Amino acid sequence: MPRVAPAWRLLSTTLLALGLLAGCERRGDVRAPRPEPPRGFGGDVLPPLAAQGEPRADGELRVAMDAEPPSLNCQLDPLDIWSKKVDELVYESLARPNPLTFADEPRLAERWDISPDELTLTFHLRKGVRWHDGRPFSADDVIFTFDKILDPTSKTLAIRSSLEPLASYTKVDPWTVRFVLKRSYWFAVDAIAEILIYPKHIYSRGDFNTHPANRAPIGTGRFKFLRWQTGDEVVLLRNEDYFGPRARLAQITFKYVPDPTVRVQMLRRGDLDVLERVSPEAWSDAAGDAALAVRFWRLRHTPTGLQWIGWNEERPYFRDARVRRALTMLIDREDIVHNLRRGLDELATSWFYPLSTEYNRTIKPWPYDPKKALSLLEDAGWSDSDGDGVLDNGEQRFVFTFLYPSGNAFYEQLASLLQSDLGRVGIVVETARLEWAVFSERLRRHEFDACSLLWHLYPRHDPYQVWHSTSIAGGSNFISFRGGEVDTLLEQARTEFDDNKRNALYQRFSQILHDEQPYTLLFNRNNLSLVAKGLGGIYTTPYGIFRYEDFYWRKDANAASTADSPASARPSVAQPHAPTPK
């Protein structure tokens, strides 16, 4: 019988925590003069795919993870980028966007039909697909997955909010599933088709939120899960029975290395092949390092990452837009970009993907203006009424805690600068350094005053689950922003199929965010990476990320490009698929 959905694309959120930097004035003892763009500013230019060498059908790829995922169920942990990277290799969805054109391409569904009124979507599933444990895939798995995603007891509200327009879904036959919408939704195909599908025969026994398969996933993707050694690595093996073209790599190992200095050292030793999200200092220094230059590409990806500071509006001192605007004007964001980020990123002014038509280019950033900021704070009732050097409003002192994750000296520096700069105007900033799993859980529970995150923005997405007020409880509206007009605009945009009209709604939405300043937008962050030159199948996309499933070791790779101990020269560690823990 039809499933009835309660009243997504999840802004693929993968998130990365970052510190906060504020400043009242330029000071030589804190910030150096703005440098010239570093040598090799633009990075290396990849050869076209056709010129990247003949692929081998073996070899191991070793990728550094800067944080260990809380689980390997990214639909429960949307803040974590590494669980998403692993899951998209192990699991499949009904369709997946082409990384270059963004057109949806068939995966577990061979094709789909959309009714003339845009309210009915029928997916025709691929036959002969098997789960990694040998069991057959069918429509039952699709129905089961949506049952779990939409179950109020599942910790999946971040995805559920994008399925709110869904009225029902039905198994027509073992190879056909039909979805019916309550109302038209421009993002419906993406929202439905890109959800990863889980095995019913595994997850039907036990709690979806805490199931052992969340640490040992069984999927239908191009790679099988082998093992997760906590604190060390996650290992995947090629799925020899994949329904489509087999991966060229025999194994992918994600190595957990929290220390950025150690990551670069491992790269030099030949213990890693790919290092993503390299610090601006290390990435710039690599331009003059002959040993690294001969072995690794220095790549600078599309700026899909949006770095922002969030002010939790459940806290009294952040409820007034004048206060939030003042805090933005106390932060010299251009100085952050030119000094702390070495000029490798761009100042952000709008919430959307910077190369998209939704991006509002008419918005002018709030200036760095400490005097105006102090005036705004006084207008909002904050002054040093008792002469103790701390701002107060007659009832409470302006003291808040800034949360940031451990394991990165850069965050420590930013937190220190925040204390110094805001302290100069009488705002006391206390800091709390937390492990990533604890940090992300505090955000979900709104148990913080201020934080900073990295959203990954895509050329096509629906901001509803981040900004609508219904996403405060369990969604990604961590800062508890409530905007009546914003809710209306986001609801109207969901039913608008005309791109120009929908973009007009989104640009008005962006203007409201600019005026209200629930976030202080810092910069659009590029993904700075170092990638072994012995690899092929590498291309940059509008996603700004790699597709590891397309990587391969070139037949002509040699010690000059991959040594000291190249993965391409070592046999892969092919072993039987590990069973799900009891």
Model pLDDT for residues 500-529, shown as the tens digit of each residue = 999 999 999 999 999 999 999 999 988 889
Which of 171-175, 261-265, 578-582 is least confident?
A: 578-582
Tell me the H-state helices in 344-498: 370-379, 409-423, 436-444, 464-467, 484-494
Q: In this predicted model, which residue has the larger pLDDT, 116 or 335?
A: 116
Q: In this predicted model, which residue has the larger pLDDT, 147 or 67?
A: 147
Number of neighbouring beta carbons within 10 Å of residue 275: 25
Q: How confident is the model at residue 545 (pLDDT cuts 50, 70, 90)?
A: low
Which fold, 303-525? Dipeptide-binding Protein; domain 3 (3.10.105)
Q: Residue 42: is its pLDDT beyond 90?
A: no
Measured CA to CA, the distance from residue 427 to residue 327 in angstroms comes to 10
Please list the residues that pair with 451 across neighbouring strands.
310
Q: What average pLDDT does the segment 202-215 reach?
A: 96
Q: What average pLDDT does the segment 539-544 reach?
A: 70
Question: How many residues are given for the chain?
Answer: 582
**What's the chain's average pLDDT?**
86
Q: How confident is the model at residue 560 (pLDDT cuts 50, 70, 90)?
A: very low
Distance set, CA 30 to CA 241, 250, 279, 409 (Å): 57, 48, 19, 16
* Stated pTM of the model: 0.85
**317 touches 324 (CB < 8 A):** no
What's the half-sphere exposure (Cβ side, CA atoms, 13 Å) at 296?
32
Which fold, 53-69+221-302+527-569? D-Maltodextrin-Binding Protein; domain 2 (3.40.190)
Q: Residue 582: is its pLDDT beyond 50?
A: no
Angle at 231 between CA 228 and CA 235, to 5 degrees: 30
Q: What average pLDDT does the segment 281-292 reach?
A: 87
Structure token digits, residue 349: 């002014």
Q: In this predicted model, which residue has the larger pLDDT, 387 or 407?
A: 387
Structure token digits, residue 575: 């072993």
Q: Specify the pLDDT at position 12.
A: 38
Measured CA to CA, the distance from residue 139 to residue 142 in angstroms comes to 5
pLDDT tens per residue, range 425-453 = 999 999 999 988 898 889 989 999 999 88
Containing H/E element for 120? Answer: strand 120-125
Strands, E, within 295-371: which ranges? 296-300, 305-311, 346-347
Q: Specify the pLDDT at position 49.
A: 76
Q: What average pLDDT does the segment 47-52 reach?
A: 76
Angle at 75 between CA 201 and CA 300, to 5 degrees: 130
Q: How confident is the model at residue 275 (pLDDT cuts 50, 70, 90)?
A: very high
92-212 — its CATH code? 3.90.76.10
Which of 202-206, 310-314, 376-380, 563-567 is least confident?
A: 563-567
Q: Specify the pLDDT at position 410.
A: 65
DSSP assigned state of 515: H
Q: Residue 199: is its pLDDT beyond 70?
A: yes
Residue 431: CB partners within 8 Å, gap ≥ 6? 401, 402, 403, 404, 415, 418, 419
Q: Specify the pLDDT at position 52.
A: 86
Q: In this predicted model, which residue has the larger pLDDT, 18 or 293?
A: 293
Which of 41-50, 111-120, 339-348, 411-420 is least confident?
A: 41-50
What share of the chain in percent tops pLDDT 90?
Answer: 61
Q: In this predicted model, which residue has the larger pLDDT, 280 or 95?
A: 95
Q: What average pLDDT does the segment 258-264 reach?
A: 90
Q: Residue 573: is its pLDDT beyond 80?
A: no
DSSP assigned state of 288: G
The string of DSSP codes covering 42-75 is T-PPPPPGGGS-PBPS--EEEEEESS--S-S-TT
Residue 416: CB partners within 8 Å, gap ≥ 6? none
Q: Specify the pLDDT at position 457.
A: 83
Q: Residue 277: is its pLDDT beyond 50?
A: yes
Q: Residue 63: is its pLDDT beyond 50?
A: yes
Q: Specify the pLDDT at position 9.
A: 39
Which of 8-17, 272-281, 520-529 is least confident?
A: 8-17
Q: Residue 534: is its pLDDT beyond 70?
A: yes
The domain limits of the chain are 53-69+221-302+527-569, 92-212, 303-525
Q: What average pLDDT does the segment 137-158 reach?
A: 95
Measured CA to CA, the distance from residue 301 to residue 45 in angstroms comes to 11
**349 touches 507 (CB < 8 A):** no
Q: Specify the pLDDT at position 45.
A: 79
Q: Residue 48: is its pLDDT beyond 90?
A: no
Q: In this predicted model, which residue has the larger pLDDT, 573 or 361?
A: 361
What share of the chain in percent tops pLDDT 70?
Answer: 87
Q: How confident is the model at residue 58 (pLDDT cuts 50, 70, 90)?
A: very high
